[in-house]
Amino acid sequence: MLTLAKGRRARAALLLVALLAVLAAVVLSLALGVRGVAFSETWRALTDPVAGNVDHDVIRGQRVPRTVIGLLAGAALGVAGALAQGVTRNPIADPGLLGLNAGASLGIVVAAVYFSVTSPMGFIWFAFAGAAIAVVIVFAIGHGRPVQLALAGATLTAFMAPLTTLLLYRDVTAFDRLRHWSVGALNGRDLEVVATLWPFLAFGFVLAAFVAHRLNALALGDDVASALGQSVGTTRAVTGIAIVALAATATAFAGPIALLGLAVPHAARRLVGPDHRWLTPLAALLGAFLLLAADVLGRLVRQPDELEAGVVVAILGAPVLIAVARGRRVVGL
């Protein structure tokens, strides 16, 4: 059973352990798959590649991009989930359940189907627009109340998800280009996507670092936060912008990954407590680890085919959602 670490040194040690786990996942992501590669050969492919070597080409051309995308997307969704739960004070809030992932996905599909957008820079603006519209709708319906927000987000997702699928099926070209992405997968993209979109993730992470300590005061209630000199409206607005930036960019990277943003913050909170100064970086590390581990597992369980990372994450995250639904004491805030 996970236990809460007390003290700065214990929490720092947990962050170090999580970082080492992420590094291990990176190594496994580079070496394992349908075509297994020895660890020594993997290192050689990264440091001294040989032209025409099939193993080196697979690692550098396919596994390096999907590993980097897994790291960034997983970290972004982990942080976005932690921010969403903190700003709403809702233990079941995450970018997926609040409709952000569905909104971003619908925006990307609309861009591909109706505007023939093919570039990452083109997709990202539609993803932002879709996620922002979803946030406005959910908060307008939910009026900031935890249960209503969750219900509004679930309803919006239930509407947008089949609409996104319907639009994809109507355009064969767009469907062929986005079919792996639409179920949440790390393959089929290259480092050009990372080079184009990383500034948006950096912007989201900087905002998350800025508001982390403010969410600690907000957790005590709006009145207490205001009494401590904090602008509650500004904190919520900045946090909302950070969540949209992180969730939309992660969706553009890897597609709609469900439940990662829910499960990871609960695990991080159980380990280091509710202090967002520790919770947020640990959520980033655990999110990166979980998405990479899910991708590696998906490559191994269905050889010679693959099971998409989004499917594996959903299977792993479902028990957390069930635990939260059964009672806060299991993984509560």
- At 147 the pLDDT is 72
- At 197 the pLDDT is 93
Q: Which two tokens stand for residue 186?
A: 């790390």
**Cα(131)–Cα(243) distance, integer angstroms:** 9
Q: Which two tokens stand for residue 63?
A: 């596994």
- At 1 the pLDDT is 44
Spatial CA neighbour of 243 closest among 211, 286, 198? 211
- Number of H helices and E strands in the chain, helices first, is 15, 0
pTM to 2 decimal places: 0.92
b/e map 165-204, b = 16+ CB within 10 Å: eebbeebeebbeebebbbbbbbbbbeeebbebbeebbeeb
Contact 245, 193 (CB under 8 A): no
* SS3 at position 230: coil
**First CA to last CA distance, the chain:** 17
* SS3 at position 333: coil
User: What residues contact 280, with CB distance under 8 A and at least 6 apart?
Assistant: 79, 82, 83, 208, 209, 212
Spatial CA neighbour of 177 closest among 247, 99, 126, 111? 111
Count the alpha carbons within 13 Å of 205 in the hemisphere toward its beta carbon.
Answer: 19
- At 324 the pLDDT is 65
Q: Is 310 exposed, middle or buried (0-12, 13-18, 19+ CB in 10 A)?
A: buried
Q: Which two tokens stand for residue 161?
A: 């998800």
**Cα(130)–Cα(105) distance, integer angstroms:** 7
Q: Is 61 exposed, middle or buried (0-12, 13-18, 19+ CB in 10 A)?
A: exposed
Give me the tens of pLDDT residue by residue for the chain, a chain 333 residues long.
455 666 888 999 999 999 999 999 999 999 998 888 888 999 999 999 998 899 999 999 999 999 999 999 999 999 999 999 998 888 878 888 889 999 999 999 999 999 989 888 889 999 999 999 998 998 888 776 767 887 888 899 999 989 998 998 888 888 887 877 888 888 878 898 999 999 999 999 999 999 999 999 988 888 888 887 888 889 999 999 999 999 999 999 999 898 899 999 999 998 999 999 999 999 999 999 999 999 999 999 877 788 899 999 988 877 877 776 665 544 334
Contact 306, 295 (CB under 8 A): no
**Cα(286)–Cα(125) distance, integer angstroms:** 27
**Hey, how many other C-beta atoms are within 10 angstroms of the C-beta on 34?**
12
Q: Which two tokens stand for residue 162?
A: 């089949």
Measured over all CA atoms, what is the biggest interatomic distance in the chain, rounded to whole angstroms? Answer: 66
304 upstream amide cis, omega within 30 of 0: yes
CATH number of 8-331: 1.10.3470.10
Distances in Å between the Cα of 199 and the Cα atoms of 46, 87, 130, 235, 246 are 25, 24, 19, 22, 11
